[in-house]
A and B are shown apart, each in its own frame.
Chain A
Amino acid sequence: MFEIENVSKIYDSKGDKEDVLALDNINLTIETGKFVCFVGPSGCGKTTLLRLMEGFEKPTEGTIKDDGVIVLEPSRERGFIFQDYSLFPWLNVLDNVTFGLDIAGLPKEESRQRALKYLEAVGLEEFANSYPHELSGGMKQRVAIIRSIINKSKSLLMDEPFSALDVQTKHKLQEHFINTWKDRDTTVIFVTHDVDEAVFLSDQVVVFSRRPGRIKRVFENNLPRPRNRADAEFQSLVSEITKDIDESEDE
Chain B
Amino acid sequence: MKEYKLTDKLDLLILPIILVIIWYFVCDFFMLVPSYMFPGPIDVLNSFIRLTLSGKLFKDIIDTLYKVLLGLFLAAAVGITGGIILGWSKKLERLCSLIISILRPIPPIAWIPFSILWFGIGTTPAVFIIFMGCVFPILVSTIDGVHRTKGVLIEAAQSFGASNTQMLTDVILPSTFPYIVSGLKVGIGIALMCTISGEMIGSSSGIGYMILTSTSLFDTGSTIVGMLVIGIIGIIFDYIFTKIQERIFW
Contact = CB atoms under 8 A, between A and B. Distances in A.
Contact of B159 (A79, A89, A131): A79
Contacts of A54: 155, 159
A54 B155 CA distance: 10
22 contacts: A73-B158, A74-B155, A74-B159, A79-B159, A80-B156, A82-B156, A86-B150, A86-B153, A88-B156, A88-B174, A89-B249, A90-B175, A90-B177, A90-B250, A91-B174, A100-B160, A102-B170, A103-B157, A103-B160, A103-B161, A104-B160, A151-B160
B162 interface: yes
Contacts of B152: 82, 84, 86
A99 B154 CA distance: 13
Interface in A128-145: 131, 133
Contacts of B153: 86, 88
B161 A90 contact: no
Interface residues of B, number: 20
Task: Please name the 9 residue pairs, one residue from A and one from B, whose CB atoms are nearest each other, closest first.
Answer: A76-B161, A89-B250, A100-B160, A74-B158, A86-B152, A80-B159, A90-B174, A86-B156, A74-B159
Interface in A90-138: 90-91, 99-100, 102-104, 131, 133
B155 A88 contact: no
Interface in B138-174: 150, 152-153, 155-163, 166, 170-171, 174
Contacts of A80: 155-156, 159
Contacts of B158: 56, 73-74
B103 to A, nearest CB: 32
A154 interface: no
Contacts of A99: 157, 160, 170
B170 A86 contact: no
Contacts, number: 59
Given A56-B155, A56-B158, A88-B156, 8 more contacts: A75-B161, A80-B155, A82-B155, A89-B249, A91-B174, A102-B170, A103-B163, A133-B250
A151 B249 CA distance: 28
Contacts of B250: 89-90, 133
How large, as a class, is the contact surface on chain A?
A: 20 to 34
B159 A104 contact: no
B166 A103 contact: yes
A86 B249 CA distance: 15
Contact of A88 (B166, B171, B177, B249): B171
Nearest to B150: A86
A131 B153 CA distance: 16
Nearest to B167: A103
A140 B90 CA distance: 33
Interface string B31-47: 00000000000000000
A75 to B, nearest CB: 6
B188 to A, nearest CB: 23
A78 B249 contact: no
B189 to A, nearest CB: 26
A238 B157 CA distance: 36
A103 B156 contact: no
Nearest to A100: B160
Contacts of B171: 88
A78 B159 contact: yes
A148 B170 CA distance: 17
A102 B174 CA distance: 16
A131 B175 CA distance: 15
Nearest to A84: B152
Nearest to A78: B159
With most chain B CB atoms within 10 A of its CB, the pick from A80, A91, A148 is A80
Nearest to A159: B152
With most chain B CB atoms within 10 A of its CB, the pick from A54, A56, A84, A91 is A56
Contacts of A88: 153, 156, 171, 174
Contacts of A79: 159
A149 to B, nearest CB: 12
B234 to A, nearest CB: 29
A89 B149 CA distance: 11
A104 B161 contact: yes
Contacts of B174: 88, 90-91
A82 B159 CA distance: 11
B205 to A, nearest CB: 42
A104 B170 CA distance: 13
